[in-house]
Structure 1
Amino acid sequence: MSRSTAAAALAVLAAAVFFPDATAAQEEPTPSVSISPATVAIGQVVEVYFTCPGGTDEGVTSPGLSGAVTQSGAPAFVKSVPGTYTATVKCRGTSKVGTAEFTVLERVSATFRFIPERPKPGQAFRAEVDRTACPSGPFVFASTGFRDAIRPNQLEGVVVDTPGRHSVVIQCWLGRNLIKGGGMLEIAEPDAPAADRPAPSDEAEQGANAEPRHAPVAGPRKPIIKPKGAPQTGGGGTA
């Protein structure tokens, strides 16, 4: 091998090691887009985030949004037609498209349930809240059936001492949207106390513990002694 050929081979090897492949160097960037929250009700607001290394001319568009979003993190209203929509973003210098799905519902309500479901008067309880509509709350959770006010984000408490049904109000933030909900708290009747049994009297207790009595054994019958006297009179005089 000549010196020129060897030098050319070394040059090719060095280029492969120290410089990326030409195809890799020209790889198109992949844009991304996200919608937060991903589930909202009609007429509510979402925040749109996207990355576009080369910038974008059109911004993020979707048939479910009220208009194009050209700044990442900006808010946008959703349309008033329920459904699942796709948001897209196209960037300069690439043919790739970033996409994200979001869902528009008729209504989003904060829902919850109590454990136990029907607490007894004065009993402690905890609540489980649906995190779809209330991801980090609630900040309001109130009822006349709670003995004390429930602090924000607290889901434990004690019910009042009176049985009955009480309305419950709950409010949360879902992104920039105020979500409200409600329900009922039913406080059950207390358990009936066990009937007090009368304590047994001493006589009854002695009678129950006493040995059984036996009837007395009859002795030999005594002879019948008839008085002396005239048989015709039946008297008892002397002759």
Structure 2
Amino acid sequence: MTTIGFIYPDHAAEDDYPLAQRLLGDVARLTVAHVYGTDLHAVPELRDLGSPERLREGAASLAAYDPDAVVWACTSGSFVFGHDGATEQVAALARDSGTPASSTSFAFARAAQALGLRRVAVAASYPDEVAEMFVQFLAIEGIDAVSMSSADIDTAAEVGRLDDERVVEIAMSGDHPDADAVLIPDTAMRTVGLLDTIESALGKPVLTANQVTVWEGLRIAGLSPQAPSLGALFRQVAGSEADHVS
């Protein structure tokens, strides 16, 4: 069975990954390894969390599972390095793991492009300063954020404690009538089990951090399974040739 390895920061919503594996019908093994640091949504702390040393540690932890692809499952811990820095981060991860590699920031870009999305609304849990950096990253990838809302939550641990009602509320309040989709960028937020609910309520595609991270891992490993309960991304995009960010 194909194995996808995910390097996940600390603990918050990592149970989205075994849930996604079940919803996908176990077409691949989704394996999570943790790295640890301060979970504050602030640029210096996020740069430390996504440092080469931590990702090498994560890659080493995953090596025992012989993964076919590895993804850094952290949006803010990648885009805070800027587009060039995030590109180098993924290239280093590919070298360290000996596999195709990517990160959640690139997963959002590739997923939006696969769906043909060019105008999106960003519904972030981060403070404004951090959320703006995600908007800038998307712009370099040709994706225009027509609106951005931020819940201004300071830590990933707090995001991981949000109940379903609050997650749906963040998604709904972050929508914009000119947006083709809503992007929810924090891997600390449990969203995999809520995709149908949110998309039905909004009437448009929703891309969430753990959803696109799983999709990206499968894509770079050469898989493109469909899963109706994992949102428009897994219903509408299939059969695309795998490549990886380098």
TM-score under structure 2 normalisation? 0.17
Structure having the higher helix fraction is 2
TM-score under structure 1 normalisation? 0.17
Question: Which structure carries more relative contact order (alpha carbon 8 Å, separation 6+)?
Answer: 2
Structure having the higher strand fraction is 1
Greater Rg over alpha carbons, structure: 1
